Structure 1
Amino acid sequence: MSEIVPLTRSQRTHRAEPAAALEDVTTVHGFAEDFEAVLDDTSVHRSTIGCVIPAYNEEESIAQVIESLLGQTRVPDVIHVVVNNTSDATVKLASQYAGPHEVVTELGEQFTEVFVHDIGKNPDKKVGALNYGYTLVEGYDYLLGVDGDTVADAKAVEYLEAEATSDTRIGGISAIYSIDDKPIKGSLAKFLTTGQRSQFAAFNLHNLLRGRNMAVLGGQFSIFSTHALRDVMKENHQSTPWVKDSEVEDSLLSLQIKSAGYLTKISPFARADVGGMTTLRALDAQQVKWTYGAIELMWPGQRGDTKGQPFHPNLRVRWLEHFDMLMNMFVRIAFVTLLAASLSIGAFVFSYWWLIPPVVAIALNTRMALTMHNRNTRDVLFGLTLLPAEIYMWIRCSHFVRSWTRFLSRKKVDNWAMQAKAERGGGFGHWTPLILAVAVIVAMVAIWMMLPVMVQSTVLWIGWPIVGVVTVLQTLSMFFKLIRRHHGYKV
């Protein structure tokens, strides 16, 4: 455990070497050789790290976030908490940690100072807070971005710095994200959290197996080279690293860092727990904001400042994600529709072949749960029983439909404000897909009942083979993911 001792300003004269405690990590087996080489050849470069925490109404978590940073084996050289648009006690709670600190860890004595900035009303929200923080740490070697509800493992900063300093091509490195579900109460909240943990696990593992190339350097806990950020600003004629006209500021910055010739990576060791969404409306608002922002980056002509768009290397992953989601929706909706239609005229014939896709899905979901670093019984049951994972997939499909509908409607919506409202318990938009689904089902049933038997049989004769072919392709895709080597990675 780290011992934290407040200091006077005159006592801050030196700090410990950042990577001295990594010598034992190379004994961990099963990880890619490239990272083990990084740990073996860690540079003695004494880098400097400035941490920026954009905070909005984070009174429930801000103290724990600051304590986790002060408890790091490699403490940031300075910590700036940038509070914006807040209406709670975030400033008061964060201010209790303001001032210089001496932190004694296994690496020796380290010194840092915490500053709390209340910038008041900020129309640019999180982006404005991040850019404000950047001006405070632009002279440091690295900017560590930490969300106001993200708590990292004790060695997270140490691992991130060790790899960042080992290769000047690296523009940014993200930690592995998950959600700490131990404090979660309530059946629905636990179910949604488990679904999000599984979603994060799949996302992290996908990036790790892509040579640890990260499509999105999530702002929850990522370290950025300030040299890379300056190159991004110069190349894109920006006065700040983050721009305010994007719904997904971290995705856009990741694209720009990649376009500037830098690597965007994910660490196989650094871990951080982010804040999860515990209600349907909050989860809906968050996922719609993320998906809507991704669509804006992907869609031709929407982001003229994104080089290579819409087929930027980072965006190819997004296109595949959206195509997979579209296929997931098609198979589920088509299967349920054709099954109901077949039963209505007594034409359904059961085949054991239909059991293969769910069996493969269970095996894949279970294997994914077993790769989780801090898995629990709920994570494993989520994969084994299939039903919870299937329900969560339908929920994700509703987010997908809402996002594309909002984008194609060209209706201007402040998705940041919508998410904040949802997290406060306001709004009913998350019920829209269900209402539309009921209306569509009623209409389809009415139309189906009016069709002649010959037409009904023809629809089934054409529909089932199409669904069968798509299902076979999806099952093969799941099978190849199931048998793919994970190289010992834990997410």
Structure 2
Amino acid sequence: MTDVNSPRAVAPHAPDSILPREPDREPEAGPGFADDFSAVLENTTGHRSTIGCVIPAYNEEESIADVIQSLLAQTRVPDVIHVVVNNTSDATVRIASEFAGAHELATEMGEQFTEVFVHDIGKNPDKKVGALNYGYSLVEGYDYLLGVDGDTTADPRAVEFLETEAVSDSRIGGISAIYSIDDRPIKGLIGKWLIAGQRTQFAAFNLQNLLRGRNMAVLGGQFSIFSTNALREVMRQNHQSTPWVKDSEVEDSLLSLQIKSAGYLTKISPFSRADVGGMTTLRGYDAQQVKWTYGAIELMWPGQRGDTKGQPFHPNLRLRWFENFGMLTNLFVRVAFITLLAASLSINAFVFSAWWLIPVLMAVLLNLRIAYTMENRTTRDVLFAALVFPAEIFMWIRLSHFLRSWTRFLSRKKVDNWAMQAKAEKGGGSTHWIPLILLLAVFIALAVIWSMLDPVVQSTILWIGWPIVGVVTILQTLLMFFKLIRRHQGYKV
């Protein structure tokens, strides 16, 4: 069934018997594990909050059933679940409607009641943002809005952990789960390699946020809970009629920034976990990453948008600057090394030194340590880190996204990155090959220019170039070493 009622839905009354979980079921903390969250679990109160779940869905026929079943299997079931289907051309509405209606569930926390509504809002020019704002209008009377993507499934206690911490501290504006990707259903060598890379990417990002006092730079829309009080404050301060704005490529990053600016905390839970949908094709992964990076650059760049304040040093954006600087350094070292190596070999001036193997070894050790922090690591995760080439090729792919995003941004060319991602996921487009073609063209041009230079000039270039690359590589290696020896405080991602 499809619900066509007014979006101003009234929150159902929750049974009084539903209380937070007893402390004896608290997860075991590892050595050195930060005890702030453990203290939250030990001091839970009898307060019963209300949670309205919103699932924006676009062509999710393959996953929507698993997503809804995952929510109905929670120890703390949301009080209401709204599936907001937009711009769909598949069977998402039909499949989701099989779950529509009231559900009385027997859980470990007692009998719980929820109701599932399915809303087909048809053609929606604002895409996911429009679906999220429609969903907000349905649950704005609840204490919390739980945002769940149409391809994200969560561990059974995910909602319970998010709610427990949110209720414990009124300063919290939003909490994100730890994200990973379930690689078991993935088929094909390229798909498995891409998923292994994305799992490592998620793990490194999650770990970085956990070690920064669990301050989450981006409350990802995949599985995050938001205080509706915080959302209302964001709308008031920014003169918005809705929490999410339609003119941002990264609606979740912008909202996280606004929540932080409104004086609330943005956190990541050390226990709540969810598996998101990964990209199994090069063109799909490319389009997704370019959209994310391009949107982040727009937020980072001071005064770029007339409707968004330029806040380049906002706490939620500092990490973005470090990420981009790190990618620029990685690009410089790799391109410069290959260029100088080829130039040295061309005049028989290259002398191998074992010192160059140290950065490679350090990178492998760091990747292995990240792999071993994964809660559900697989043999593939370890091999991805240990074999050098899988991770190195994946880094080149990420560098291509970095280049395309900045090139697109600096060109000021208006592009619908949402539409390009949707096209890529359907198998269309070939722009992901452009960076490789340009890189080959650059190397060919450099080779031609090199062959035209005088031997004295060639020697001078090598004499200056190698020390520069060496110094940058040493600094990069030291940074990796400090990350390698940093205590992880028992966190698992």
Partner of 2:6: none
Looking at structure 1, the residues matched to 436 and 184 of structure 2 have their Cα atoms a distance apart, in angstroms, of 30
| 1:360 partner letter | M
1:402 aligns with 2:442: no
Q: 1:149 to 1:16 in 2, by over 3 A?
A: farther
Looking at structure 2, the residues matched to 256 and 303 of structure 1 have their Cα atoms a distance apart, in angstroms, of 15
Partner of 2:208: 206
Partner of 1:136: 138
Residue deviations 1:178-212, cap 9 Å, x none?
Answer: 00000000000000000000000000000000000
Contact 1:18 1:162 in 2 (8 A): no
Question: Residue 16 of structure 1: CA displacement?
Answer: 4.3
Question: Residue 14 of structure 1: CA displacement?
Answer: 1.4
Contact 2:368 2:385 in 1 (8 A): yes
Question: Residue 302 of structure 1: CA displacement?
Answer: 1.5
Q: 1:227 to 1:23 in 2, by over 3 A?
A: farther
* Structure 1 unaligned spans of 5+: 1-8
Question: Residue 355 of structure 1: CA displacement?
Answer: 1.1
Residue deviations 1:107-139, cap 9 Å, x none?
Answer: 110000000000000000000000000000000
Looking at structure 2, the residues matched to 15 and 77 of structure 1 have their Cα atoms a distance apart, in angstroms, of 13
RMSD: 1.3
Looking at structure 1, the residues matched to 45 and 423 of structure 2 have their Cα atoms a distance apart, in angstroms, of 46
Aligned residues: 482
Q: 1:156 to 1:311 in 2, by over 3 A?
A: same
Question: Residue 311 of structure 1: CA displacement?
Answer: 1.2
Residue deviations 1:343-370, cap 9 Å, x none?
Answer: 0100001111111111111110001000
Partner of 1:95: 97
Question: Residue 19 of structure 1: CA displacement?
Answer: 2.0
Q: 1:25 to 1:13 in 2, by over 3 A?
A: closer
Match of 2:226 among 224, 228, 232: 224
Contact 1:259 1:307 in 2 (8 A): no
| % same residue | 77
**Superposition pairs for residues 230-245 of structure 1, below 5 Å?**
230-245=232-247
SS in structure 2 opposite 1:413?
A: coil
Residue deviations 1:7-59, cap 9 Å, x none?
Answer: xx9x9761543522453215434321111111111122110000000000000
| 1:37 partner letter | A
**Superposition pairs for residues 45-56 of structure 1, below 5 Å?**
45-56=47-58
Looking at structure 2, the residues matched to 401 and 374 of structure 1 have their Cα atoms a distance apart, in angstroms, of 32
SS in structure 2 opposite 1:122?
A: coil
**Superposition pairs for residues 187-202 of structure 1, below 5 Å?**
187-202=189-204
Contact 1:179 1:273 in 2 (8 A): yes
Contact 1:81 1:94 in 2 (8 A): yes
Match of 1:110 among 109, 112, 129: 112
Q: 1:13 to 1:34 in 2, by over 3 A?
A: closer
Contact 2:303 2:309 in 1 (8 A): no
**Superposition pairs for residues 43-442 of structure 1, below 5 Å?**
43-307=45-309, 309-442=311-444
Contact 1:51 1:144 in 2 (8 A): yes
Match of 1:445 among 447, 455, 458: 447
TM-score, normalised via structure 1 length: 0.96
Partner of 1:6: none
More off after superposition, 308-317 vs 186-195? 308-317
Partner of 1:28: 29
Residue deviations 1:360-385, cap 9 Å, x none?
Answer: 11110001000001100010011111
* Structure 2 unaligned spans of 5+: 1-9
Contact 2:30 2:491 in 1 (8 A): no
Partner of 1:456: 458
Runs of 4+ in 1 over 6 A off after TM superposition: none
Looking at structure 1, the residues matched to 287 and 254 of structure 2 have their Cα atoms a distance apart, in angstroms, of 20
Looking at structure 1, the residues matched to 37 and 481 of structure 2 have their Cα atoms a distance apart, in angstroms, of 28
Question: Residue 63 of structure 1: CA displacement?
Answer: 0.2
Looking at structure 1, the residues matched to 407 and 22 of structure 2 have their Cα atoms a distance apart, in angstroms, of 51
Contact 2:300 2:310 in 1 (8 A): no
